[in-house]
Amino acid sequence: MTEIVMQNLGKDFGAFTALAEMDLTIGSGEFVALLGPSGCGKSTTMNMIAGMLDPSHGEIRFDGRNMNGVPMAKRGVGFVFQNYAIFTHMTVRDNLAYGLKSQGVGRAETNRRVGEIAELLQLTPMLDRKAAGLSVNILQRLAIGRSAVVEPAIFLLDEPLSNVDAAFRAVMRAELKSLQRQFKQTMVYVTHDQLEAMTMADRIAVMDHGKLLQVGTPLEVYNHPADTFVARFIGAPGMNLLKGRITGADTGLVADLGAAGHCPVRTGQGGDVLFGFRPEQVHPDANGPLQMIVTTVERIGARTILHLAAGDMTAKAVLDSETPVPDQGQPFRFALDADDVRLFDAETERAL
Ligand code: ATP
C-alpha cells in the first residue's frame, strides 16, 4: 500500500492549462475517484501519477518519495485504460500470467495467483481460450485482471468501463470494489460517470476545467456540494437550483422564490441566492409553500420524475411511482424539509 500526495501539481500544454494547482492526498489503501466532465483534466492527472507525463509544476510523492522524473516502470503502478491492451493471440491464462512471468515469479505461485484473480473476475471458465474470440466485456475484465494480478501498490484505472454495456458495468462496479478490498491497493479511478464514483469510491475528487472543486466522501459531496457545479453534477437528476432572495429576519428567514412561492430556510444573510434542493427530497403536500407547473411526467419503473416550471425556473421531483401526481399542465404543490435546503451565493455560486 502506498500513499499518494499531489502538491501544487499542474500541467500546461503550451498556453493551455490542463491542470491548475492540484493539492490532493490519497491515503494508503484508499479508493479515490477523479470525477468530472470530458476535458476537465482527469486523464492528465492520472498520466502524471503513472509517470507517463511530467508535471509542469508541483510534485507527486509516493510514501514521501518524490516521483518527479521516476519512469513508469519504476513506480509500482498498474494501469488499466479505456482501450484494453490484450495480447489477442494468447490465451486468457497466458495474458494473466504475463506480468508475473516478467517479474520472474515461479510457476506454482503464478498458477496460484492466476487462479485466484480468474476466480475473482469470473474468468475461470475461459482460462484456456484465445483472447481473440472473446467479447469486449470479457476483454475489459481480462485487462483489469492482467494489471491486478501483479498486485501493484497503486492501481490506476482510466474509464475502464466506458466501452462495456450497462448491465456488465453494474457487475464490474461490484467486482472492482471487492478486488480492491481483497488486495487493499491504493486505487485511483477516473470517470465522468457520477454513479460509478458514488458506488465505488471512498472519496470523490470532483474536477472541472482543470480545477479540483471538492474532495469528500460520496455522501459529503451529495449532501454538501461546495458549489453549484458539484450540486448539479452529483445525483441523477442533479440538484435543483432556483433563483431566490432571502428575506424576513424577525418572522424567521424565508427564501422568496418568485413564481414558485416562499419557503422557510434555516440560514442566510439576506440577498440573492441560488436555492438548492434534491429532486428526491421533494414532498408532495397540498398545503405546501411551493408550487410549480408540471411540464412532463416521466415514469421510469419504481420512480416517477416530474419536470416542473415556474416563471423562467425549472426543477425536477423524483417520487415513488405509487405517489399520485398531477397531469401535465397542472400545478404541483410541495414542501421541503428546511434541513435539506442548500443555499449558494448568487454571484460566486459557492455554498453559503
Ligand atoms: P476525457 O475524459 O475526455 O479524456 P479528461 O478530463 O480526462 O477528459 P484530459 O484528457 O486530462 O481530460 O484533458 C484535459 C485538457 O487538456 C483537454 O482540453 C485536452 O484537450 C487537453 N490536452 C490533453 N492532452 C493534451 C496534449 N498532449 N496537448 C494539448 N492539449 C492536451
ipTM associated with this complex: 0.96
pTM above 0.90, yes or no: yes
Inform me whether the pLDDT recorded for 251 exceeds 70.
no
CATH superfamily of 240-345: Nucleic acid-binding proteins (2.40.50.140)
Residue range 149-162: average pLDDT?
A: 91
Give the model confidence (pLDDT) of 166-197 as tens digits: 888 888 898 888 888 888 889 999 999 999 99
Higher pLDDT, 86 or 134: 134
Per-residue pLDDT at 249 = 61
Handedness of CA 322, 326, 329, 332 (dihedral sign): negative
* DSSP SS3 for 247: strand
Cα 39 to ligand 1 centre (Å) = 5
What average pLDDT is seen over the chain?
A: 92
- Do domains 4-230 and 240-345 share one topology? The answer is no
CATH topology of domain 4-230: Rossmann fold (3.40.50)
Instruction: List the chain domain ranges.
Output: 4-230, 240-345
Q: Which residue among 9, 43, 192 has the greatest number of ligand 1 atoms within 8 angstroms of its CB, and so is best to mutate?
A: 43
Do 267 and 343 contact (CB within 8 A), yes or no? yes
- In the chain, the DSSP E strands lie at 4-13, 16-26, 31-35, 57-62, 65-66, 77-80, 154-158, 186-191, 203-208, 211-216, 240-247, 254-256, 262-264, 271-277, 283-284, 290-300, 303-310, 313-320, 331-335, 342-345
Q: Is 39 in the pocket of ligand 1 (CB under 6 A)?
A: yes
Atom of ligand 1 nearest to the CA of 159: 2
Give the tens place of pLDDT for each residue, 36-53.
999 999 999 999 999 999
CA distance 332 to 352: 28
Whole-angstrom distance, CA of residue 245 vs CA of residue 149: 56
Say yes or no: CB of residue 11 within 6 Å of ligand 1: no
- Which residues contact residue 159 at a Cβ distance below 8 angstroms, ignoring those fewer than 6 apart? 81, 82, 190, 191, 192
CA distances from 22 to 11, 57, 171, 214, 260 (A): 10, 10, 32, 11, 40
